[in-house]
Amino acid sequence: MKIIPAIDLINGKCVRLTKGNFSTKKEYASDPLDMAMRFEEYGITFLHLVDLDGAQQGEVINYKTLERIASKTSLEVDFGGGIKSDESIKIAFESGAEKVTVGSIAIKNRGLVEQWINRYGQEHLILGADVKDEKIAISGWTETVDEYVYDFVREYIEKGLKTVISTDVAKDGMLEGPSFELYEKVLSEIEGIELIASGGIRSIDDLEKLKEMKLHGAIIGKAIYEGRIELKELSQLC
């Protein structure tokens, strides 16, 4: 299972939100590059980088930070937030993203995402399937679509995508444990999926359980910044 620390960006700084609510913003590190370099020092090889400004404004904003991290570390960065157009996905890849996560756009413009799968290859795209009560949440989680996560993910697996990040919005930033039941159901209903858990992870025990469930990866954010999980512990898992 891939161990994937997260850095969320607002105004070029490292922050965390609770349930995606911007009013709960808490800043942890003024320079995300310093944080990324710390991850690298502990043997971590992957990074989940989210442009929260981009998600709000509908275009990539923090690409310079992506560029700095990609050029000054060897971390494999998956980048999301504000990916809404050919221009935005081009900026993300040109700034050093190894993979790009497509979320809201995968609901709003399925044809465009299908073009990207063909153009960039499924290995460079990740489907963002964020969930509220088993239905897809989009637009920074401010809107819930009348479409079940299972149908949504299955559609894109059939289009050629394999890797899916799924965040249960109710769990995000709560440090109460990930949505084990949701992931178990997704894995049982959909074949050929590389499922990455995100949201609520609070301990090494949570990570061990996700590993036993055969998750492809786990994204850890607040638990690192709040000292619930030490980088040394993640290093040992890696």
Asked if residues 84 and 112 have their Cβ atoms less than 8 Å apart, the reply is no
- Alpha-carbon span 120 to 107, nearest angstrom: 19
Give Dmax over CA atoms of the chain in angstroms: 43
By annotation, the residues acting in catalysis are 8, 130
Instruction: Provide the angle, in degrees to the nearest 10, between the axes of the packed helices 63-72 and 32-41.
Output: 30
- Alpha-carbon span 29 to 7, nearest angstrom: 10
Name which of 18, 14, 8 is nearest 28 in CA terms: 14
Name which of 224, 225, 168 is nearest 199 in CA terms: 168
